[in-house]
């Protein structure tokens, strides 16, 4: 009887081992935690920083060419009916991708991936090498990729990720050897690099992707943060309907004006920032000012803090932390970029919060705003005090000429004798007027004299006539 019982137990153990080796019957993750990635629109992805729990926090793509991905499918089909796949990209992100095909069983599975592979529909060669993969502390992962399965002949390339579709990921481990990838169960200390739950929850440069910590009992409650803990709020959400990133290096300056609400304090502002491929030194400088009267007066004022980002990685977030906590009020962040190419993805211009305004070259832009987030702290206890800017004095106009002295009093003029009459001048060339005509003023006395003589002659003639009549 005991032998039969022992034999039955042995059979059960063997059968259990056999079935557990089959992917479809793999053991569930039990009470272990995992990350549920949920799509919040089409093309969800993020860039992830390798965990310190791995043997290295930087990958060597020339030697590390294998990966093991522990997953459980939730949603199976995209909007076109094609099965979801996944894909990796080197960092900075560039084509071609490294494709991952899911086994859509709804059970926990482990996919083994050759990181030097490319999709059979691409004509590009693998760029999994140190020549192209330069930001080696990060990797991009797209957990839900629509319509990319080359084996699906019905695929037309127009599939979209459905809002709310999801997949569960427990870990992603990277190895130098294929056999090590196949042997990994999540417990061995063998990965060259590792993305564990904590690192998978940290979304960098995320697009339309939400990450939540889960276990088999459901979502793991996130502890309530302290009341004064920093909280990130959307300033303008990423807008994928229009693909319109702007390079800041194409402008002399860029700036964001915004308002910190009453009862809160400002900590930082973040941008979703591309570099248009690998760059040697994509950098950004920024200064923050308190608002004073108008834009020009503000950026000519006192700097409250400065920020510099060097060697930015494509599609990672740039968090501009100025090293100070600022109280409620209006501020301007003034940015310049002169080294290599750096910029920001477009946000939704119709969904800009916090009374924000964007400037290119000191001119308000009325059609574009960057995808951005603002980190605020509830309360003002940690904020510094900012002196209220003095009102700008209106300059007094300077006189255009020196004032004249008051006139000095002069002596009364002394009376002079009346001028004596002079003889009429004889006509000469000098008696002509300036216009060349002769001056005839001397004729007046001559005529008078002639009249007098004529009158005298007439009197004599009349007197003589009277004498003759007698």
Q: CB count, 10 Å around CB of 231?
A: 13
Q: How many CB atoms lie within 10 A of CB 422?
A: 6
Question: For residues 256 and 269, what is the distance between their CA atoms, to the nearest angstrom?
Answer: 10
- With beta carbons less than 8 A apart as the criterion, state whether 295 and 302 touch: no
Do the beta carbons of residue 74 and residue 168 sit within 8 Å? yes
Q: To 5 degrees, how large is the angle CA 41–CA 43–CA 44?
A: 75
pLDDT at residue 109, as a whole number? 97
Whether the CB-CB separation of 46 and 127 falls below 8 Å is answered with no
CA distance 169 to 109: 10
Average confidence (pLDDT) over 427-434: 43
The answer, yes or no, to whether residue 429 has pLDDT greater than 80, is no
Measured at the alpha carbon of residue 374, what is the angle toward residues 246 and 292, in degrees to the nearest 5? 85
Q: How many CA atoms lie within 13 A of 371 on its CB side?
A: 26
Q: What per-residue string of b and e applies to 9-38 under the rule 16 or more CB within 10 Å gives b? A: eeeeeeeeeeeeeeeeebeebeeeebbbbb
Q: Where are the alpha helices (DSSP H) in 170-255?
A: 178-183, 197-201
The 3-state DSSP class for residue 95 equals: coil
Strand partners, 39: 209
Look at residue 197 and give its three-state secondary structure: helix
Measured CA to CA, the distance from residue 205 to residue 136 in angstroms comes to 16
For the segment 397-414, what is each residue's pLDDT rounded down to a tens digit? 655 544 444 444 444 445
Measured distance between the N- and C-terminal CA atoms of the chain, rounded to whole angstroms: 212
The torsion defined by the Cα of 257, 261, 264 and 267, in degrees rounded to 10, comes to -10
Q: C-alpha distances in angstroms, 204 versus 7, 210, 470?
A: 55, 11, 151
Specify the pLDDT at position 315.
78
Domain boundaries, the chain: 29-219, 230-378
Measure the CA–CA gap between 467 and 190, rounded to whole angstroms: 171
Sign of CA dihedral 154, 155, 156, 162: positive
3-state secondary structure (DSSP) of residue 10: helix
**Contact yes or no for 291/330 (Cβ under 8 A):** yes
Number of helices (H) and strands (E) in the chain: give both, helices first.
5, 24
Dist CA 317 CA 93 (whole Å): 14
Query: How far apart, in whole angstroms, are the C-alpha atoms of residue 379 and residue 108?
Result: 44
Residue 296: how many CA atoms within 13 Å on its side-chain side? 2
Q: Is residue 232 predicted with pLDDT exceeding 90?
A: no
On the question of pLDDT at 31 being above 90, the answer is: no
Say whether 7 sits in a helix, a strand or coil: helix
More confident residue, 21 or 456: 456
Kind plus residue range of the DSSP H or E element containing 113: strand 108-114
Residue-level pLDDT at 389: 66
**Could you count the other beta carbons within 10 Å of the beta carbon of residue 6?**
10
Architecture of domain 230-378: Sandwich (2.60)
Overall average pLDDT of the 293-307 stretch: 97
**Length of the chain measured in residues:** 470
**216 contact partners, CB below 8 Å, separation of at least 6:** 28, 29, 30, 31
- Distance separating alpha carbons of residues 15 and 145, to the nearest angstrom: 36
d(CA 39, CA 162): 7
Q: Which pLDDT score, from 0 to 100, does residue 210 have?
A: 93
pLDDT 10s digits, 149-191: 555 544 556 788 999 999 999 999 999 999 999 999 999 999 9
Q: What is the pLDDT of residues 100-135, one digit of tens each?
A: 999 999 999 999 999 999 987 788 999 999 998 988
At 353, give phi and psi (nearest 5°).
-100, 180
Q: Where are the beta strands (DSSP E) in 237-302?
A: 246-247, 254-260, 264-273, 284-290
pLDDT bin (cut points 50, 70, 90) of residue 340 is confident
pLDDT at 361 over 80: yes
Q: Which residues contact 23 (CB under 8 A, 6 or more apart)?
A: 103, 105, 107, 109, 110
Please answer whether residues 273 and 412 qualify as being in contact, where contact means their C-beta atoms are separated by less than 8 angstroms: no
**Would you say the pTM of this structure is higher than 0.85?**
no
């Amino acid at each position: 009887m005991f032998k039969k019982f022992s034999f039955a137990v042995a059979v059960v153990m063997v059968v259990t081992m056999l079935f557990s080796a089959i992917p479809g019957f793999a053991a569930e993750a039990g009470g272990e935690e995992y990350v549920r990635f949920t799509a919040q629109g089409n093309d969800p992805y993020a860039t992830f920083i390798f965990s310190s729990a791995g043997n290295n926090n930087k990958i060597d793509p020339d030697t590390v060419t294998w990966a093991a991905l522990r997953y459980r499918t939730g949603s199976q089909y995209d909007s076109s009916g094609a099965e979801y796949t996944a894909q990796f990209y080197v960092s900075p992100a560039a084509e071609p991708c490294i494709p991952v095909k899911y086994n859509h069983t709804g059970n926990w599975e482990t996919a083994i991936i050759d990181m030097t592979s490319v999709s059979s529909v691409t004509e590009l060669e693998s760029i999994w090498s140190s020549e192209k993969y330069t930001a080696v502390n990060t990797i991009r992962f797209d957990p839900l990729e629509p319509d990319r399965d080359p084996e699906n002949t019905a695929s037309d390339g127009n599939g979209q990720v459905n809002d709310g579709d999801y997949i569960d990921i427990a870990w992603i481990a990277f190895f130098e050897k294929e056999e090590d990838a196949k042997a990994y169960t999540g417990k061995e200390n063998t990965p060259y690099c590792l993305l564990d739950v904590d690192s998978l929850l940290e979304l960098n440069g995320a697009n339309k992707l939400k990450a939540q910590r889960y276990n088999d009992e459901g979502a793991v409650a996130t502890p309530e943060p302290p009341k004064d803990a920093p909280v990130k709020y959307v300033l303008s959400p990423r807008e994928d309907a229009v693909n319109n990133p702007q390079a800041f290096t194409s402008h002399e300056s860029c700036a964001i004006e915004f308002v910190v609400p009453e009862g809160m304090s400002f900590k930082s502002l973040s941008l979703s920032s591309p570099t248009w491929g690998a760059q040697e030194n994509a950098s950004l400088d920024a200064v923050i000012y308190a608002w004073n009267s108008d834009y020009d007066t503000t950026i000519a004022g006192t700097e409250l803090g400065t920020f510099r980002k060097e060697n930015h990685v494509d599609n990672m977030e740039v968090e501009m932390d100025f090293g100070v906590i600022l109280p409620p009020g209006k501020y301007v962040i003034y940015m310049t970029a002169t080294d290599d190419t750096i910029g920001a993805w477009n946000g939704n211009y119709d969904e800009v919060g916090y009374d924000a305004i964007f400037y290119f070259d000191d001119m308000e832009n009325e059609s574009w705003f960057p995808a951005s987030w603002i980190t605020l702290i509830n309360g003002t206890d940690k904020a510094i005090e900012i002196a209220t800017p003095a009102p700008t004095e209106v300059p007094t106009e300077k006189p255009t000429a020196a004032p004249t002295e008051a006139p000095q009093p002069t002596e009364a003029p002394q009376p002079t004798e009346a001028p004596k009459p002079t003889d009429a001048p004889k006509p000469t060339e000098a008696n002509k007027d300036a216009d060349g005509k002769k001056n005839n003023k001397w004729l007046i006395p001559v005529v008078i004299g002639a009249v007098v003589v004529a009158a005298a002659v007439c009197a004599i003639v009349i007197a003589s006539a009277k004498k003759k009549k007698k």
